[in-house]
Structure 1
Amino acid sequence: MKKLLVMSAVSITFAISATTAAPVMQQKAAQGQAMQQQQQQVEITDALLKKFLAAMNGVQQVSQKYGKQFQNAQEQQKKREIQQQAQQEMLAALNDAGLSPDEYNAVIQRVQQDPELQKRLQDMTSE
Structure 2
Amino acid sequence: MQRLTALLTAALLSAGMLSAPAIAQEDASSDAAQAQAAAPATDFSDETLKQFAEASKEIASVSRDYTERLQNAEDEAAKQEVRMEANEDMVSIVEDSGLEVSTFNAIGQAIQQDPELMKRVQGMVEPQAE
TM-score, normalising length: structure 1: 0.71
Gapped regions of structure 1 (runs ≥ 5):
1-5
1:69–1:123 CA distance, 2 compared to 1 (3 A): closer
Instruction: State the match for 2:71 in structure 1.
Output: 71
Instruction: State the match for 2:94 in structure 1.
Output: 94
TM-score, normalising length: structure 2: 0.69
In 2, Cα distance between equivalents of 1:120 and 1:24 = 28
Where is the helix percentage greater, Structure 1 or Structure 2?
1
**Are 2:94 and 2:100, in contact at CA under 8 Å, matched by a contact in 1?**
yes
Aligned length: 116
Shift of 1:109: 1.6
Q: Percent identity?
A: 32
Instruction: State the match for 1:120 in structure 2.
Output: 120
In 2, Cα distance between equivalents of 1:16 and 1:91 = 18
1:122–1:79 CA distance, 2 compared to 1 (3 A): closer
Displaced runs of 4 or more, over 6 A: none
Instruction: State the match for 2:8 in structure 1.
Output: none
Gapped regions of structure 2 (runs ≥ 5):
1-11
1:9 aligns with 2:15: yes
Give deviations 1:77-102, integer Å, cap 9, x for gaps: 00000000000000000001111222
Shift of 1:16: 5.9
